[in-house]
Chain A
Amino acid sequence: MHAIEISDITKIYGKGKRRIHAVNKINLIIEQGQIYGLLGPNGAGKTTAMRMMLNLIRPTQGNVRIYGDDVRQNHAILRRVGMMIEGASFYPYLTGRKNLILLARTHGLTDMNRVNRVLEIVKLSDRADQRFGTYSMGMKQRLGLAGALLHDPDLLILDEPTNGLDPNGILEMRLLLRDLVDNHGKTVCFSSHTLSEVERLCDNLAIIHKGKIVREGNIESLLTEQTQLRIKASPSEKASAVLSPQWRVCDTTTDGLFLEATADDAPHIARALVNNGVDIYEIIPHRQSLESFFLDVTSGDDQL
């Protein structure tokens, strides 16, 4: 059974000319026991998609299933989900501990030791009796994560969980999420626009742009799919003119010519260049970074 199955969800705001597709026919399957990243620029539709997963927003069309149950038909399925959406939100006049007690009671938990346990996990025990309103951004995020973990959920849906955390906090969060998935069988779906974080943490990812998924899959295979070849040749202008009809020239720098091509294309490229009188000094497979891949797929509308 899939942890999350999203079918054709669409969210449209406004009417007539002011109609905006915040999310446009997204289909997604997130298997259990993995960390899945939703990557996208600001306003891409990540948070709206996550809110629909949690039944906070009604989709204009489509549905979301969590562990096989439609979230709009069976609310109880959300009790298996822990979430933090758009930062941690708590009552500023209550202490961190009381905010968690309140959530525990709302959830119907009877074991209040769980509150202390999650405070320890997020390393907030010593500040738990201060009012939430006095917390720093990082402490708020930690409490938000504590709230999400409180009922020991099977699935965590976290929107930008590392926002406001210092480097140590980010590392701890990464280790914690990895531990939850690898050693406790949990599933994590999280969004971010921090590419390095996604690259380090995720097993699979989807890139959302303008409300649509433009790429989806395992990070390794996505980056391999987009392998480039770096070619040092002279004269470089002529090399570019020879190759561009057949391969996409991504960039031309002092380091050489970057072509969208696989290693299998190398002999063909070499032959074409030699036949046209271009001298070759190097042909090196160049693995694209997630950053350049992300920028490639989110630039312009041609990918949509």
Chain B
Amino acid sequence: MTALFRAEWLKLAGNRWAVTFLVWIFPMSALFMSVGAIVIALLASAGSPETLNDMSQFLTNWQGGFLSAWMFPNSDLGRFTLIIFTAIVFAGEYQHGTWKNLITRRPRWVIMLNKFFTLGVFITIAFTMMSLFVGVGSIVLGQIVGHNMGVFDANSLGEFIRDIITQMGLTLVTTFIATGYTALAAMYTKNIIGTIFTSLLITLGEPSILLLVSLGRSLLHIDLFPLYLLTPTHNFGNIRNAEMGYEPFVPLAPEGFVPFSVTVSWLILIGWIVCLIAFSIRNFNRQDITA
């Protein structure tokens, strides 16, 4: 299995344009921005206290930098770039006609599972680097501008570890769900552009199920709200709200509605990943490879 992982890694890392502009650009940008901010702060510390004060306002506590990097993949831009990257990874095999080289050497399910796994590791490494660059950069910057970065003790460290695991988990869960959509889209469209459009449509259009809920209620008197509760969008929001300590906000919720617990939402999201991967493998196993 290690050899197979290394093969997939070689393929991902070897696609330099795609990997540079769709993945490494984030940790690299974080590094440049952190170093740039530190240099500006060092220059400003010689005689521009206003600049230091302005910079200080962008800083929170020492944990903030590390956590913020992991939120990026869940932004629209983050999802957009990751969908393009995963589309290249899956649909590229159809476009280059390379599936036949792989699936005659290993069972299809092994190849497909390995792709999901390698992508997960790749993205984890990229955003861990980004998190380190932003986090360490923020701490150094805080020292230079004289910002109070909060207490660093066992309590705050424990809280930080819990928060970063949650944030990493959310990022990986949403990334895997988007990857599952992309893998399926690739199987049907068999080209990169088609896969990107289809995956974007599904991923970014998923919240529009609320519109269906609303139309169902007003026009057909059917309540589709329970379906909305099973969507990744709802459960992702549910977990994030709970983590942030916000009041649960569920659009179109009926009177007396009790939201899912965080655990249930996690289970639903994990269920989505398992189903999408299983469905991808099933479809791939039955697919005729004609390219």
Is A106 in contact with B96, judged by CB distance below 8 angstroms? no
Q: Quick one: which of B7, B11, B103, B104 has the most chain A CB within 10 A? A: B104
Is B11 in contact with A58, judged by CB distance below 8 angstroms? no
Which of A's residues lie within 8 Å of B, judged by CB? 51, 54-58, 75, 78-79, 81, 83, 85-87, 89-94, 98, 101-103, 105-110, 147, 151
Query: B264-291: which have CB < 8 Å to A?
Result: 286, 288-291
Nearest-CB residue, chain B, relative to A59: B288
Partner of B100, one of A75, A79, A85, A107: A85
Set of chain B residues within 8 Å of A102, measured between Cβ atoms: 7, 10-11
Partner of A58, one of B10, B102, B105, B286: B286
Query: Within the assembled complex, what's the spacing in Å between the Cα atoms of A255 and B273?
Result: 75
Query: Within the assembled complex, what's the spacing in Å between the Cα atoms of A90 and B147?
Result: 53
Which of B's residues lie within 8 Å of A, judged by CB? 3-4, 6-7, 10-11, 14-17, 92, 96-98, 100-107, 111, 286, 288-291
10 A-B pairs in the complex with CB atoms less than 8 angstroms apart: A56-B103, A58-B288, A85-B100, A91-B15, A93-B15, A93-B17, A94-B11, A98-B10, A103-B7, A105-B3
Query: Within the assembled complex, what's the spacing in Å between the Cα atoms of A108 and B98?
Result: 17
Is B101 in contact with A93, judged by CB distance below 8 angstroms? no
Partner of B7, one of A51, A86, A92, A105: A105
Is A83 in contact with B286, judged by CB distance below 8 angstroms? no
Distance to closest chain B CB from A96 (angstroms): 12
Query: Within the assembled complex, what's the spacing in Å between the Cα atoms of A98 and B16?
Result: 14
Is A57 in contact with B289, judged by CB distance below 8 angstroms? yes
Is B100 in contact with A83, judged by CB distance below 8 angstroms? yes
Is A108 in contact with B4, judged by CB distance below 8 angstroms? yes
Is B104 in contact with A54, judged by CB distance below 8 angstroms? yes
Set of chain A residues within 8 Å of B106, measured between Cβ atoms: 75, 106-107
Query: Within the assembled complex, what's the spacing in Å between the Cα atoms of A55 and B11?
Result: 24
Distance to closest chain A CB from B252 (angstroms): 42
Distance to closest chain B CB from A122 (angstroms): 16
Nearest-CB residue, chain B, relative to A76: B107
- A83-B104, A89-B101, A106-B102 given; A57·B288 CB < 8 A: yes
Partner of A91, one of B11, B103, B289, B290: B11
Query: Within the assembled complex, what's the spacing in Å between the Cα atoms of A236 and B106?
Result: 65
Distance to closest chain B CB from A129 (angstroms): 13
**A contacts with B: majority SS:** loop
Query: Within the assembled complex, what's the spacing in Å between the Cα atoms of A106 and B99?
Result: 12
State the 4 A-B residue pairs at the shortest beta-carbon distance, nearest first: A89-B97, A105-B7, A56-B289, A57-B288
Distance to closest chain A CB from B217 (angstroms): 39
Apart from the given pairs A78-B104, A106-B111, 10 other A-B contacts in the complex at a CB distance below 8 Å: A56-B100, A57-B288, A58-B288, A75-B106, A87-B97, A89-B98, A89-B100, A98-B10, A98-B14, A106-B106
Query: Within the assembled complex, what's the spacing in Å between the Cα atoms of A109 and B3?
Result: 8
Is A89 in contact with B96, judged by CB distance below 8 angstroms? yes
Distance to closest chain A CB from B9 (angstroms): 9
Query: Within the assembled complex, what's the spacing in Å between the Cα atoms of A87 and B189?
Result: 22
Q: Quick one: which of A55, A85, A106, A110 has the most chain B CB within 10 A? A: A106
Query: Within the assembled complex, what's the spacing in Å between the Cα atoms of A98 and B10?
Result: 8
Set of chain B residues within 8 Å of A58, measured between Cβ atoms: 286, 288
- A89-B96, A106-B102 given; A94·B289 CB < 8 A: no
Set of chain A residues within 8 Å of B288, measured between Cβ atoms: 51, 56-58
Nearest-CB residue, chain B, relative to A94: B14
- A57-B288, A57-B290, A91-B11 given; A105·B98 CB < 8 A: no
Set of chain A residues within 8 Å of B290, measured between Cβ atoms: 51, 56-57
Query: Within the assembled complex, what's the spacing in Å between the Cα atoms of A86 and B102?
Result: 15
Query: Within the assembled complex, what's the spacing in Å between the Cα atoms of A107 and B3?
Result: 8
Nearest-CB residue, chain A, relative to B7: A105
Query: Within the assembled complex, what's the spacing in Å between the Cα atoms of A90 and B95?
Result: 10
Query: Within the assembled complex, what's the spacing in Å between the Cα atoms of A186 and B102?
Result: 22
Is A106 in contact with B98, judged by CB distance below 8 angstroms? no
Distance to closest chain A CB from B90 (angstroms): 14
Q: Quick one: which of B106, B111, B286 has the most chain A CB within 10 A? A: B106
